[in-house]
Amino acid sequence: MYGLARRVIVRAHSVRFASRLSLSESLARDAPIDVHPEVQDALTTGVPVVALETALTTHGLPPPINLQVTKDLETVVRSTGCIPATIGIVAGRVKIGLENSDLERLADVARNPRSVKISRRDIAPALASKADGGTTICATLIFAALANIKVFATGGLGGVHRGGENSMDVSADLHELTRCPVGLVSAGVKSILDIGRTLEYLETLGVPVISYSRTKDFPAFFSPRSGFQTPWNTDDPVTAARMLHSQWQLGLDNGALIAVPIPEEYAEKGEIIQQAVNQAVLESEQNGMSKRGKDVTPWLLSRVAELTKRDSIDSNIALLKHTALIGGKIAAQYQSLAS
Ligand code: PSU
Ligand code: MN
């Protein structure tokens, strides 16, 4: 009897340890997390909230436009009636909702070059070392889930890199979508990646992939169409919100990818950018950059910007604003279903 009881207790203990903590439980453990009062208020009163990431601020876009774009995305989210929760790490504290001064600090990459690109594996070391960091999709999903934010809008999901079947370079973004019940609204995955294998991997992980479009074409970040098809599509925020709601009604504790194509007027530019992407990927293989782990994506992005004389940056900004808009619309609809 004693043995059985003890085993049960041990098991209960380990289950509890493995299970997700709520924000209040984390805070009760003195976790270094600050929720912005505006975000806290929205979460308490049922105003929809959209999470935004900061790896695009610290590592995705060059200064000074990085700061402006991060602020603009918040404005776009507000235009949909939602509250933006831009997430990042400042001086070893997780910020869910950033003050302007924090945003400025993260965006000032020249004066703040030690600001780290934060994925799941980096979170605890960065907090313990009191570092600054831009949260990737992976890390932003974790904090959005912790705060019970159901929609997160951003640009490009990480994925299986070209040659990933040998290098094993597969972004932690993908696996995180199995752990966090958050709807990720993004412009697909960049064509610096192996899009086909990324979709295969998401299928294996059981993550719903929905094209936010009249067709099932999966977008390719700089281009509205990648040539790959998704299993589902809708171009209606109500239906997209219902897809998320059905999933979580069933307690399916994973996220979903809602892939929003860049606006059609950028399609032509997208084809030219694609050539620069191919060249940059080739160069990264020749100069060894492709073996540099988390530096690969930022290097490729900045090389493509150089090669396209910043056309890629204009497209990147356009698609970011578009996903923030659609993310806000979906979050607003989700809120009325959930409340
Ligand atoms: N796509 C962009 N800009 C970015 C990123 C992706 O257009 O800044 C960032 C995102 O934060 C994404 C991360 O989560 O790169 C993926 O990095 P990696 O491939 O090292 O996992
Ligand atoms: Mn990687």
- What is the rounded CA–CA span in Å between residue 95 and residue 77? 18
Give the Å distance between the CA of 306 and the centre of ligand 2.
22
Q: Which residues are catalytic?
A: 53, 190
Cβ(297) to ligand 1 under 6 A?
yes
Give the Å distance between the CA of 326 and the centre of ligand 2.
27
- What is the rounded CA–CA span in Å between residue 85 and residue 75? 11
DSSP state of 52: E
Which tens digit of pLDDT belongs to each residue from 129-153?
Answer: 999 999 999 999 999 999 999 999 9
* Residues bordering ligand 2, an ion, CB closer than 5 Å: 169
- What is the rounded CA–CA span in Å between residue 197 and residue 215? 21
Q: Work out the burial of residue 156: count CB atoms within 10 Å of its CB; fewer than 13 is exposed, 13-18 middle, 19 or more buried.
A: buried
Cβ(156) to ligand 1 under 6 A?
yes
Please give the ipTM for the structure prediction.
Answer: 0.92
Q: Collapse the DSSP code of 179 into the 3-class scheme (helix H, G, I; strand E, B; otherwise coil) and give the result.
A: coil
334-337 long-range contacts (CB < 8 A, ≥24 apart) are: 334/48, 334/150, 334/151, 334/183, 334/241, 334/244, 334/245, 335/46, 335/47, 335/48, 337/241, 337/242, 337/245
Which tens digit of pLDDT belongs to each residue from 57-70?
Answer: 999 999 999 999 99
Cβ(117) to ligand 1 under 6 A?
no
Which tens digit of pLDDT belongs to each residue from 27-54?
Answer: 999 999 999 999 999 999 999 999 999 9
Which tens digit of pLDDT belongs to each residue from 88-112?
Answer: 999 999 999 999 999 999 999 888 8
Whether pLDDT at 24 is above 80: yes
Whether pLDDT at 184 is above 70: yes
Rounded to two decimals, what is the model's pTM? 0.93
For residue 30, what are its two tokens?
């003195």
Q: How far apart are the first and last CA of the chain?
A: 46
Give the Å distance between the CA of 170 and the centre of ligand 2.
5
* E-state strands within 92-196: 93-96, 116-118, 133-135, 151-153, 183-186
User: Closest ligand 1 atom, CA of 172?
Assistant: 21
Residue 95, strand partner residues = 34, 88
Count of residues in the chain = 339
User: Closest ligand 1 atom, CA of 119?
Assistant: 21
For residue 19, what pLDDT is reported? 59
